[in-house]
Copies of this chain bind each other. A is one copy, B any other.
């Protein structure tokens, strides 16, 4: 058997490699690194090829492909969303992703992205909160204590200087799990019995629940002036977390309007309801928070460029860490026209 050439071998970051990378770098430095790459790509937002994700819906959930390109590098993520998976002991969301060279179309990185998606979603939330949350915000209500809750919390600590988190979940076991995981990370962690209790004193309200239906995690009378809402869980048609009245009182910031209007909280609003694109806040072209009384709302659905940034960050960590292995993914005959000959010679 002839050995494949270097071009045929694609660096692959497994789940095991990803976990080792997080420990090698440290989770907070890695969240900061990811946020820096994401912010850099938001600053050059206009040059990206932006396509709404390609979704295949079924009764049980959705499978999506999220491609983008900056003209030199192409990236895409495969991701599913199946709310009922948890009851069967499976992840609601699993993902993997890829980078390729636009010039020749050859993949240059394949990676697990279940963990990396949780990391980039948290890094994005915190990078946005850095721009929109009120000055001095140091307390967050974390409503929904599932798989993303610890990542969200640590990103807010690493990037926004969060000191306290107030946890609430309809399932007290999820809150106990989240509180136990956050112990020893230098935060004041408070487990709360009601969402009303959780939001006491919090300047940042993060909602991250997984029901695939119109839900009302936050009602209008719970949300006071001057807070920043980080709405993570409303991310597909029919799935929202906030009462419409809250949306009407908020200044709403989104990643990519054509996608958010279908998938985000604002699917509850008129299609021409004004929203601000985050990249314009980050470049200074649009205003972010303009008063202490304002409610800012990040209607997060996750966009392909954030995955692209995360894969770009990951790729840049590989040479120094070696935390990958080469995958024999691409056929690469010595003579590119002789694919058949390569197959034939493999018989010997």
Chain A residues with a Cβ under 8 A of chain B: 1, 4, 7-8, 12, 14-16, 18-20, 22-23, 27, 49, 51, 54, 56, 58, 60-63, 65, 67, 69, 71, 74, 76, 78, 80-82, 85-86, 88-92, 94, 96, 98, 100, 102-107, 112, 114-115, 118, 145-151, 174, 177, 180-181, 327-344, 346-347
20 more A-B contacts (CB under 8 A) besides A118-B340, A181-B341? A14-B328, A14-B329, A18-B331, A19-B342, A19-B346, A23-B347, A51-B56, A61-B105, A62-B105, A65-B65, A76-B78, A82-B104, A82-B105, A91-B331, A112-B329, A114-B330, A146-B337, A147-B336, A180-B341, A327-B327
Q: Which residues of B contact A346 (CB under 8 A)?
A: 16, 19-20, 23
Report the Cα distance A98→B56, complex, angstroms.
Answer: 14
Copies per complex? Answer: 2
Shortest Cβ distance from A8 into chain B, in angstroms? 6
- The main secondary structure of chain A at its interface with chain B is mixed
A19 contacts B343, CB within 8 Å? yes
B74 contacts A67, CB within 8 Å? no
A177 contacts B96, CB within 8 Å? no
Report the Cα distance A18→B105, complex, angstroms.
Answer: 21
